[in-house]
Chains A and B, each alone.
Chain A
């Protein structure tokens, strides 16, 4: 009985050694993969960082304004050309603008 038990223990230890080696090797390989992945992530993050910075540069107000003026002929709008939604006349409201017929859609500054 004792011999069987001894054999079992030694066999278990041998199996444990093999299993440990297997785990160790898998860990090493996984670590190599992990390092590669981390390196790739760092590279991608670097690229994303550069792209985000480049986007910030090309989408900067100064560049957009320059392009809008040179390519599209756009210019700054005057404050009187802008209004808020709340100031627009709505159907059914008892206001001069609601009662008046719409003749054209031109914006016109109020007389001073």
Chain B
């Protein structure tokens, strides 16, 4: 029989067990400190780093960023002179002095809110005031370095019921989840090129002022990738201010509104006729003084010759000629074609504000005629630009995007490549021989089409004597890369335009100026030598 363990052996076992337990405790604590708590510290650091991811342009320039700010609170009971404190704080922090005086005098609360989102320099000024009883609460403020220039496309942010920062409009709203879920240090790269955006904003504003237009807008679109390089809508707003100024609006004319765009729509009528072999550019069409369809008569906006070649119908923007061409295809085919081009459905991009197009419920002969020259159908400039881009890019569909996507984004073949080529020739002809002459830029072979639409009466029938003028330009036209679309709402003629407010005098030169400034920046090759250095004549 085996003897039991002696007392010494039991003590040894107990001692060893205690040692093992002690070391086990050490190991458990080490694992706790190095693994679990480390992860916790990392997540705290991450939470402090940023609340909302940066927005940057396609070249990495900051467009929107959360910057650390401080909310300022005061303990009124600590002030020896509440009136002086209110004055000093209003000077340093920009708070309302009267409100502060009232609050400091009346409140029974220990803390009074003074100002929200103080920038570091404002905080510095407050500290230099040397007042006691001030406390800062750290927070973040969304800041837009380019201010108004990007306001309408980026939108703005605000606080929801839980105090979380959320996008309220524009891309801040459209990309809200992506911006909230982003990792610290990361950014969302937009397709916007800030250089293009600034030039577009600058030129559109200049034209709006020159022609005293109610609203104005423009966009630059890459016809191969679908990237929007710039989008401007005026009036705009200051995204860094808390409230809208007088005359400011968040309404985005280019992405949000739908318009009867007028003659610029003739691009689609000619594309359809070319695609279906219903028209030859050199065939002669009778124009006359009016074209009767049932009880309606189609008129021209300007005086036209008795006959015109089909290409001149587009170049001089004849409504009667275009009507005749459109009627050859008929209502059913026209509607089916426009639907295929994406003009009868709301366009879906990262911009959340998109209205559905408006078009006739009954699409008969009269509607075919009016739609052919851009009346009776209202689409957004962005949707129009996307469809026009498909016509010139070889005939393939693109979906506009505000995210950087430099790869070829062309998809489904919508029209034949030969049709696309013929349309490019026709658009170039409009600029060299038609209403778009003022959009031409030496060396860049601009093609395009003007549009001067009478505005429909609000809530009634008929049209006002007010115009919406637009110009759709592509360049370089024989191998298009970019599309520029500009629109002016209610422009007025000037002495320089001899009182005319038509698109050829207002929108076309605007598009030309935009192209002449952005084409060199975008590296678009010139068609011919624009410079002659030291002519060879002795």
Contact = CB atoms under 8 A, between A and B. Distances in A.
Interface string B519-538: 11000011011111111101
A105 B12 CA distance: 101
Contacts of B284: none
Given A56-B146, A61-B198, A62-B201, 18 more contacts: A6-B11, A9-B15, A9-B19, A13-B18, A16-B19, A42-B48, A49-B66, A50-B68, A56-B62, A57-B146, A60-B194, A62-B146, A77-B520, A79-B444, A82-B526, A100-B536, A109-B530, A110-B528
Interface of A: 2, 5-6, 9-10, 12-13, 16-17, 20, 27, 34, 38, 42, 45-47, 49-50, 52-54, 56-57, 60-62, 65, 76-84, 87, 89, 96-97, 99-110, 112
Interface in B246-264: none
Contact of A53 (B11, B65, B536): B65
A102 B194 contact: no
Contacts of A104: 534
Contact of A9 (B16, B68, B519, B526): B16
B534 A65 contact: no
A26 to B, nearest CB: 12
B267 to A, nearest CB: 25
A50 B532 contact: no
B534 A102 contact: yes
A103 B517 CA distance: 30
The 3 closest A-B pairs by CB, nearest first: A100-B536, A61-B198, A56-B145
Max chain B CB contacts within 10 Å: which of A6, A12, A82? A82
B443 interface: yes
A12 B485 CA distance: 83
Given A42-B48, A56-B61, A60-B149, A79 B516 contact: yes
Contacts of B529: 83, 87, 110
Max chain A CB contacts within 10 Å: which of B16, B22, B195, B535? B535
A4 B421 CA distance: 101
A90 B26 CA distance: 78
A96 B516 CA distance: 27
Given A46-B68, A60-B146, A108-B535, A80 B198 contact: no
Given A52-B65, A79-B520, A13 B535 contact: no
Contact of B535 (A16, A52, A82, A100): A100
A12 B198 contact: no
B10 to A, nearest CB: 11
Contacts of A101: 534, 536, 538
A82 B526 CA distance: 9
B442 interface: yes
A25 to B, nearest CB: 13
Given A50-B68, A52-B65, A6 B534 contact: no
A81 B531 contact: yes
Nearest to B65: A53
B23 A45 contact: no
Q: How large is the interface on B (under 10, 10 to 19, 20 to 34, 35 or more residues)?
A: 35 or more
A74 B509 CA distance: 22
B530 A16 contact: no
Contacts of A108: 531-533, 535
A104 B534 CA distance: 6
Interface in B209-261: none
Interface string B486-509: 000000000000000000000000
Contacts of B23: 16
A6 B12 contact: yes
B158 to A, nearest CB: 20
Contacts of B22: 13, 16-17
B327 interface: no
Given A2-B12, A45-B49, A104-B534, A12 B62 contact: no
B120 interface: yes
Max chain A CB contacts within 10 Å: which of B23, B520, B538? B520
Contact of B442 (A99, A106, A109): A109
Contacts of B536: 96-97, 99-101
B45 interface: yes
B202 interface: yes
B441 interface: yes
A82 B520 contact: yes
Contact of B530 (A47, A57, A76, A83): A83
A10 B67 CA distance: 58
A65 B33 contact: no
B234 to A, nearest CB: 14
Interface string B37-78: 000010001001100000000000110011110000000000
